[in-house]
Amino acid sequence: MSDEPKPGPDPWPSELRVQENGKLLKVTFDDGVVGSVSSERLRDASPSADKKRITLPGGRTVSIVAIEQVGNYAVRIGFDDGHDTGIYTWRLLRTLTTH
Amino acid sequence: MVSKDDVMAALAAIPGPDGKTPLPKSGAIDGVTIRDGKVFLAIKVDPARAPAMEAMRSQVEARIKAVAGVASALVTLTAQAPQGAPRPAAAPEAPRPAARGSRPIEGVQKIIAVASGKGGVGKSTTACNLALGLSRLGLRVGVLDADLFGPSMPRLFGITEKPALAPDGKSLIPITKFGIKVMSIGFLVGDDSAIVWRGPMVISALNQFLRDVEWGELDVLVVDMPPGTGDVQLTMAQNVPLAGAVIVSTPQDLSLIDARRGIAMFKQVQAPLLGIVENMSYFQCPHCGGRTDVFAHGGARHEAEKQGVPFLGEIPLDIMIRETSDGGAPVVISAPDGPQAKAFLDVAERVRAELFEAGKPVRAAPRIFMS
């Protein structure tokens, strides 16, 4: 995979790294762009129709507990409030991590 | 704070499921979650051996509890189908079992979808002859008839027998015809019985056809998709790592509008488009030799150029293709040296080139790290 920058409309991640005990997702794209997004923002931006939000005891924030690839285009992210139906496309991850 | 490394270090003395390799090195640890001193850990085991692994599980749990700073520990055994072990279902912080992902199908190298935006454009005939063409190029090929509503492969291949059950009693053995492994819902239900499917049934039937059929070693599995851009296509894209999609269209505008939808859908799910085939491209009169562009001509080529996807070839509107298709002796087999077979072979050559020799690098799946 070359480091040559590719135009923006077709983002493709080369690495997804969950950090800070599931509170932060760091994404490296193959055009060299690196960005990160908090688990809270990721959870709120879930594109799933089943977005029910469970408030955790003590008002703590959600953590990412699972990431699983979906096809060639997205990942499914599981949170510790039980929500795991959100499918995050590469494009959505790009938007969330860089804006 | 307890760290994952602390937990792993504490487990170094415990042998993994094979009884030798230290657990942290055995690859059996399926995820560690630590929250406020509570440790959740999953160990992957062979479901058949789950009861025997219970001792290891409790040993691991006790060992983790002994680590300084650990308030509680919950260790579960997981398997392909989770069973046996107590699950931390009630604990909202417990790691959730991973949902079914886009696992590759064992032994099958490349899966390609043959799709069309609408019905009646010759998608199944193209899929069948494309598969035979790929087989003639020396590839090991299978055909999965995913057009569950209108399965055509039994007729196209002239198959009337039913698939046998594999010795394991769980999977089906595909029928081999013309050197190709074929599986279709049409083998299991008669020609004249209606198949009425609800959406979720289609999805589970498709998954079974992909995974519970003994495909063996294949270079290419050609999937004949139902026409349109619906549930099944999306499921294919989500559950199956598609190597690419071939879109079949006639040259007429009405058909191309739908082909465009098909292209847009595959682009959206990042399934590579291998290209567009123009079927019923022109009519060569068998009597006078004159050529008639019944549905206009070249429309698919223009569309391919416009969309920036490869154009894979033109298949003429030809009575021989129609007759051989209905007769269960596809033209690539029954008239292998004729111009009709050549049209399909040209398409097969280009598909093979796109699949195995493509100059553009395949973008690798991202690496995922949970830490």
pLDDT in tens, chain B (371 residues): 788 888 888 888 888 888 888 888 888 887 788 877 888 888 887 777 777 788 888 888 888 888 888 888 888 777 644 333 333 333 333 333 333 445 678 889 899 999 998 888 899 999 999 999 999 999 999 999 988 888 999 999 999 988 998 888 888 999 999 999 999 988 888 777 667 777 777 778 888 888 899 999 999 999 999 888 777 777 776 777 788 899 999 888 777 888 888 888 888 777 888 999 999 888 888 888 788 888 878 888 888 888 888 999 999 888 889 889 889 999 999 999 988 899 999 999 999 988 887 555 566 778 888 87
**B100, B111, B369, best to mutate vs chain A, most A CBs in 10 Å:** B369
What does pTM read for this prediction? 0.64
**A73, A81, A88, best to mutate vs chain B, most B CBs in 10 Å:** A73
- The closest CB to that of B101, out of A63, A70, A80, belongs to A70
Answer whether B98 sits within 8 Å of A70, measured CB to CB.
no
- Nearest chain B residue to A29 by CA distance is B366
- Nearest chain B residue to A82 by CA distance is B92
Give the per-residue pLDDT at A51.
Answer: 67
Per the CB < 8 A criterion, the answer to whether B101 and A69 are in contact is: yes
Cα–Cα distance for residue pair B306/B184, rounded to 1 Å: 35
Residues 6+ apart with CB under 8 A from B63: B10, B11, B13, B14
pLDDT at A53 over 70: no
Answer whether B96 sits within 8 Å of A21, measured CB to CB.
no
Give the per-residue pLDDT at B69.
Answer: 86
Centre a 10 Å sphere on the Cβ of residue B240 and count the other Cβ atoms it contains: 24
Structure letter (DSSP) for residue B335: S
Give the per-residue pLDDT at A1.
Answer: 42
Q: Which residues of A touch B242 (CB under 8 A)?
A: 71-72
Give the per-residue pLDDT at A4.
Answer: 40
DSSP secondary structure string, B127-150? HHHHHHHHHHTT--EEEEE---SS
Answer whether A18 sits within 8 Å of B370, measured CB to CB.
yes
Centre a 10 Å sphere on the Cβ of residue B133 and count the other Cβ atoms it contains: 26
- Nearest chain B residue to A10 by CA distance is B270
Give the per-residue pLDDT at B236.
Answer: 73
Higher pLDDT, A6 or A65: A65
Per the CB < 8 A criterion, the answer to whether B104 and A73 are in contact is: no
Give the per-residue pLDDT at B174.
Answer: 95
Higher pLDDT, A59 or A47: A47
Answer whether B371 sits within 8 Å of A19, measured CB to CB.
yes
Alpha carbon of A10: minimum distance to chain B alpha carbons (Å): 10
Quick one: CA dihedral B107, B101, B264, A15, positive or negative?
A: negative
Q: Which token pair is B59?
A: 């040993």
Q: ipTM > 0.85?
A: no
What pLDDT, in 10s, does the model give residues A18-41? 999 899 999 999 888 999 999 999
Supply φ then ψ for residue B153, to 5 degrees: -65, -35
Q: What percent of chain A has pLDDT over 90?
A: 37
| Residue B212 backbone zone (phi > 0: left; psi -120 to 50: alpha; other: beta) | alpha
Alpha carbon of A34: minimum distance to chain B alpha carbons (Å): 13
Mean pLDDT of chain B: 83
Give the per-residue pLDDT at A2.
Answer: 41
Answer whether A71 sits within 8 Å of B238, measured CB to CB.
yes
Give the per-residue pLDDT at A56.
Answer: 64
Answer whether B361 sits within 8 Å of A1, measured CB to CB.
yes
Cα–Cα distance for residue pair B187/B156, rounded to 1 Å: 12
Residue A98, exposed/middle/buried by CB under 10 A (0-12, 13-18, 19+)? middle
Per the CB < 8 A criterion, the answer to whether B331 and B344 are in contact is: yes
Structure letter (DSSP) for residue B172: B
Which whole number is the average pLDDT over A73-84? 87
